[in-house]
Structure 1
Amino acid sequence: MYETTIQLNAINDVKEFVNTVMLFDYDIDLVSGRYAIDAKSIMGIFSLDLSKPIKLQAHTEDADALVKAIDKYIVK
């Protein structure tokens, strides 16, 4: 499993992020506090507190393509 932290600041960021992660076949979750939601669910993402960074968990051993695709959202 691959883990990183992301930040989604605007509504357009959320829409673009969801469209990007939908291209990947494996499960991708976002974890905020005790809530874990499907990263491919736009409604689920809007139920999270987007003012704070969110932990992303990708259930794959090869996340290189995902990392490149979502690089601008990754908190460095």
Structure 2
Amino acid sequence: MKTFTVKFDTVDNAASFVKAIEDFHSHFDLIYGKYVVDAQSLLGVMTMNLREAVDLRIMERDGEMERIMAAIAPYIAA
């Protein structure tokens, strides 16, 4: 399991994030305070406060981490 901080500048940016991770077999959660949503669910992501950075927890399956890192790189908070 790995955790990263991600930030979405716009709704379109959040939607493109979901699109980038939707085909992976790994499990992704977005965590903001006490709230946890499925990061592969556009509806779930849209319920988050998109103005704030949130934690992305990845439970890797099938050795996908290298491809996942390439897919999420634009969304990782600096």
Identity among equivalent positions (%) equals 25
Any idea what the Cα deviations from partners look like across 1:1-58, whole Å, max 9, x if unmatched? Answer: 0110000111111111111110210110000010000001111111111111010000
Conserved? CA contact 2:26–2:58, under 8 Å: yes
Question: 1:5 corresponds to which residue?
Answer: 5
The answer to whether 1:34 aligns with 2:34 is yes
CA distance in 1, matches of 2:21, 2:71: 8
Gaps of 5+ in 2: none
Gaps of 5+ in 1: none
CA distance in 1, matches of 2:44, 2:53: 15
Question: 1:72 corresponds to which residue?
Answer: 74
Question: 1:17 corresponds to which residue?
Answer: 17
What code does the residue aligned with 1:39 have? A
Q: CA RMSD in A?
A: 1.2
CA distance in 2, matches of 1:70, 1:23: 13
Provide runs of 4+ in structure 1 moved above 6 Å. none
CA distance in 1, matches of 2:73, 2:4: 10
TM-score by length of 1: 0.92
